[in-house]
Amino acid sequence: MFTRMLKLRLLNAVAPAYFFMATAVTFILHFCFFIPTIFPNADTSLTGSTTLHTVVFLFLMFNALGNYIMTITYPAESANEIVVPVCSAHCSDKVDAHYLLNGRHFCKLCKKVILKRDHHCFFTGNCIGNKNMRYFIMFCIYTSCTCLYSLVLGVAFLTVEYSISFENPLTFLTLLPLSTGYFFTGTVSGLQLFLVLMLYVWLGIGLVCAGFCCQQVLLVARGQTWCQMQRGQLVENRSPWRSNLKDVFGTRWILGLILPVQTAETCFEDTDQHKQD
């Protein structure tokens, strides 16, 4: 158990660094390679398209980073419990957290009591619970959109710069192994191979974030958490799905779709303490 906990702590430190590195690489590729190549400055007829793509990319990136920061700014820990409570008799003694009572968990990585804990996110380095679930879901949505949008621009860049045709659906499937082989034979440059690798990174992150987001929205609509689903525990006195979504996304949910701002009350301590997890 000590070895596994050490691996989790290492992952908790490496994952945020990986996220910021991937974000910086995406930002540099977009403004230093994609936009100048796909929309050259000499062509004045493409000025509107250049501005549009730049605004869309900055909007997606701003919301992804903004909700990432909000997820960390509004942690899910209990402000009333400084001393760790005694673990309940029903605790399954998970490696990363102990189940307490009344919807509370003690996270061994955060070393704090978490209200209505869903899971521990290694990319943000903290637990996702009742106070930051909305920001986490929006973070997943905009991260997925940013990655898939970058994937499209990356494909366009390879088509314009290296004359790679993607008309054949099998091109994308064979692109990485062929590019790797051509790189070792000296036919493909290191930059081209790196761009091909980034295409697969964007595709993977985009699909994973999209799938994870759908799962979280479904759990929120059911009034359930990931911890409850893992234990196979059903939610008693389940509220209507509209009410559950409103509790997380707030009444100003439309504003929250376009800006990383607070749209719901964060003071659920009194109500969540009386709810069974």
Lowest mean pLDDT among 117-126, 173-182, 236-245: 236-245
Q: Which pLDDT band holds residue 81 (cuts at 50, 70, 90)?
A: low
Kindly give the residue spans of alpha helices, DSSP state H, lying in the chain: 2-29, 35-38, 47-73, 133-162, 170-184, 190-222, 226-231, 241-249, 253-258, 269-272
Q: Tens of pLDDT along 158-174? A: 999 998 888 888 888 89
Question: Could you read off the pLDDT of 214-269 as tens digits, one per residue?
Answer: 999 999 988 888 887 777 666 665 678 888 888 888 888 888 888 888 876 554 44
Percentage, residues of the chain above pLDDT 90: 44
Q: What angle do CA 102, 108, 112 make, to 5 degrees?
A: 55
pTM: 0.87
Residue 121 bears catalytic tag = yes
Residue range 183-208: mean pLDDT, rounded: 94
Angle at 62 between CA 8 and CA 262, to 5 degrees: 80
Q: Which of 107, 110, 121, 227 is catalytic?
A: 121
